[in-house]
Amino acid sequence: MHQNINVLYIGFRPISLKDCPEEVHVTQTSHIDQLGNYQVVIIDMILSPYEIEEITEAIPVYGCYITKEVYDYYQMGSFIYKKQAKMLVKYEMSFIKLLASRYFVEQKAKKISIRQIGVNRSFRGTISYEGRQYMTLQGDYDTEWTQTCYWKKGVKINRKYPVSLWLEYQKDENVHLQILVEEIKQNTMDHICFEKRYNESMLDKPLIIDEVPYDGTLHISLYVKGTGQLKIGPLHVRKSRYEEGELLPGGERYNDDLRQECLFYYEPGNMKPPLQIHFSDYHQDESFEDIEMMRNMKTPFIIISDPRLDGGSFYIGSSQYEKRIKMYIQEKMEELHFTNKDLLFSGISMGSYGALYYGCDFSPNAIVVGQPLINLGTLASNETIFRPEVFPTSLDVLKQNGDGQLDKTSVKLLDDRFWNKFDKATFSNTKIAVAYMKDDDYDKDAFSSLTTHAIGKDIIIYGKGVEGRHNDDRKAIFNWFLMQYKRIMEEDFKNGK
């Protein structure tokens, strides 16, 4: 499988391309009239202000390299920040060869659920499940390294495209683990062509598997020794871009001490208000959603994605986890020299909770949401009566973020997690636009509760009700969501001009 990576070199020192990887197509020119669709652009000549303006739209963010001499001689001001350009010491073939494994086009990631974990028959302890979040083992694992668990489903790997592995787990201090990765060569049944063990100290960061000699299938197992409890969660498998980013060039990941992840993607756009902050919806394939919509608005944006559980855990977690989300937004605000009134939060369904929850911390200009989900405890309790077995992840969210129980007290505790924050928040002329389903079977009181709690606050609420249950008419929800989004962009920010 070859993925074409298009590279443009602008300069007067072209190199021989005879050793260029077949999946990397390089165009070398000293003219700026050959712009097209490129994943990487290398600038190796002084450009006039006019030329910079001409090429800005065609250069991908995070895909711009400027050779050292040009970078040192001609600090291109806002251009470097807009494109998050990096300095290239020297334009040579060794650099070109690195690009294929870093600038492939798509977002490629998945998670292997705990339902795919097998337990070795030799394990004599107890096995239990915490919903879809953890498989819990309790017992003696022996004093020597012993294969305790394995993933039933293998991971396809192309030797040219490394993968990263991140395992969610929690354990007692007396439990020690290693991950064993083996590769079975493609088109063979049992030819193990690669084998490596990774100890605990190596698991603080995602494991990069980039040493396999052939295309094939990775088989992963867990070796454990000691005594106590071990909770094993989903295994996240992503195509690695090494240092260039998570999921996309420029993508960032964060994990707290509980190994719970949050993913961030930022583009400076035209560096004019607003800073758009968009929380992705529930989705089982890990990705940054709605990126083209954000780009089309031209202004800076952040996309935040929650890869936990089956498709997300509503952006709440430990204080450490939530603090990092707030810090990331604050950092980008400061880089752009923006104020709170230069912020526009948004999200649909699961993303609506993130937009409203963190909107309380910033008192932004506006929050635009669709299919709002606010009462997460009630959302889980509705799984038993109004929507049986439709959204079981809601029960995991309750278990994870309540008091560990699935009862009325836990339901109220999780509902109040939002309302306590909302009631204490200080808003200043904040607009909240909400498109909701009139017969929502997930959280039917979300909009009415929001309007009630907004009484006495400096908030303007716009609402649009659509007939049907939560997932009956997403198109109508999105159309109204987008209409309000564009209206706020035009009226409050003159479309970022």
Print pLDDT tens along the chain (497 aa): 457 899 999 999 999 999 999 999 999 988 887 678 899 999 999 988 888 888 888 899 999 999 998 988 767 678 899 999 999 999 999 999 999 999 998 888 999 999 999 999 999 999 999 999 999 999 999 899 999 999 999 999 999 999 999 999 999 999 999 999 999 999 998 999 999 999 999 999 999 999 999 999 999 999 999 999 999 999 999 999 999 999 999 999 999 999 999 999 999 999 999 999 999 999 998 999 999 999 999 999 999 999 999 999 999 999 999 999 999 999 999 999 999 999 999 999 999 999 999 999 999 999 999 999 999 999 999 998 889 889 999 999 999 887 777 788 999 999 999 999 999 999 999 999 999 999 999 999 999 999 999 999 999 999 999 999 999 999 999 999 999 999 999 999 987 66
Other C-beta atoms within 10 Å of 101: how many?
Answer: 20
**pTM here?**
0.96
Q: How many residues does the chain have?
A: 497
Q: What is the pLDDT of residue 370?
A: 98
Structurally, what CATH architecture does the domain formed by 5-99 represent?
3-Layer(aba) Sandwich (3.40)
In b/e form, how buried is each residue of 124-160, taking b as 16+ CB within 10 angstroms?
A: ebeeeeebbbbbbbebebeeebeebbbbebebebbbb
Q: What is the pLDDT of residue 34?
A: 64
May I ask the CATH class of domain 109-238? mainly beta
Q: Residue 185 burial by CB count (10 A; 0-12/13-18/19+): exposed, middle or buried?
A: middle
Q: What is the pLDDT of residue 305?
A: 98
In b/e form, how buried is each residue of 282-311, taking b as 16+ CB within 10 angstroms?
A: bbeebbbbbbebbeebebbbbbbbbbbbbb
Where in the sequence of the chain do the CATH 3.40.50.1820 domains occur?
246-496
Q: What is the pLDDT of residue 73?
A: 76
Continuous H helices in 315-349:
319-336
d(CA 235, CA 429) in angstroms, rounded, equals 43
Structurally, what CATH architecture does the domain formed by 246-496 represent?
3-Layer(aba) Sandwich (3.40)
Q: What is the pLDDT of residue 58?
A: 86
Both tokens of residue 10?
């602008």
- Phi and psi, residue 484, nearest 5°: -65, -35
